[in-house]
C-alpha cells in the first residue's frame, strides 16, 4: 500500500511540474506588447537608449512611467520607424508597449 501511495504521489508531482506556468522571458532587446520593469530588461541604468518599431505595417506605442506612476514619456512608433530616443532609464521605471508588434531597444 505504501508503494502505491508513493508512486501516485511522485506521479502527481511530475504531472503538476510539467504544466507549470512559465512567464515569457525577454530575449535580447526585442520586446513585445506588455508591461516591463526596467530592472528586468537587463539594460544599463542612466543610459540613453533608442527604441524602434520592427513591424512593417503596425503602429506601436511606448509609455515610460516612474515609480510614482507619472508618465515621463510617450512615443508613437510608426511602422518600420526610425530610432527614437528614450529618457535615461532608472531601475524603478516601467515601460509599457502597446500594439501587436515588437520593438527593439538599442
pLDDT digits (tens, 9 = 90+) for 68-82: 989 999 999 999 888
> Which of the four CATH numbers 2.70.98, 2.60.120, 1.10.20, 1.10.10 does domain 23-105 have?
2.60.120
Q: What is the rounded distance in angstroms from the CA atom of residue 65 to the CA atom of residue 72? A: 5
Q: Which position has the grid cell 509609455?
A: 63
pLDDT > 60? residue 24? no
Q: What is the rounded distance in angstroms from the CA atom of residue 10 to the CA atom of residue 46? A: 48
Q: What is the rounded distance in angstroms from the CA atom of residue 86 to the CA atom of residue 18? A: 40
pLDDT for the residue 22: 44
pTM, entire model: 0.70
pLDDT > 70? residue 12? no
Q: Contact 49/105 with Cβ under 8 angstroms?
A: yes
pLDDT > 90? residue 27? no
What rounded mean pLDDT belongs to the chain?
82
Domain map (residue ranges) of the chain: 23-105
Amino acid at each position: 500500500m505504501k508503494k502505491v501511495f508513493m508512486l501516485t504521489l511522485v506521479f502527481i508531482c511530475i504531472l503538476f511540474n510539467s504544466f507549470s506556468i512559465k512567464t515569457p522571458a525577454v530575449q535580447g532587446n526585442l520586446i513585445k506588447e506588455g508591461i516591463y520593469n526596467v530592472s528586468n530588461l537587463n539594460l544599463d541604468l542612466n543610459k540613453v537608449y533608442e527604441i524602434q518599431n520592427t513591424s512593417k505595417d503596425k503602429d506601436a506605442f511606448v509609455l515610460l512611467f516612474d515609480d510614482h506612476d507619472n508618465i515621463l514619456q510617450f512615443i508613437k512608433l510608426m511602422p518600420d520607424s526610425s530610432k527614437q530616443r528614450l529618457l535615461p532609464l532608472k531601475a524603478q521605471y516601467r515601460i509599457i508597449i502597446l500594439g501587436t508588434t515588437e520593438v527593439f531597444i538599442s
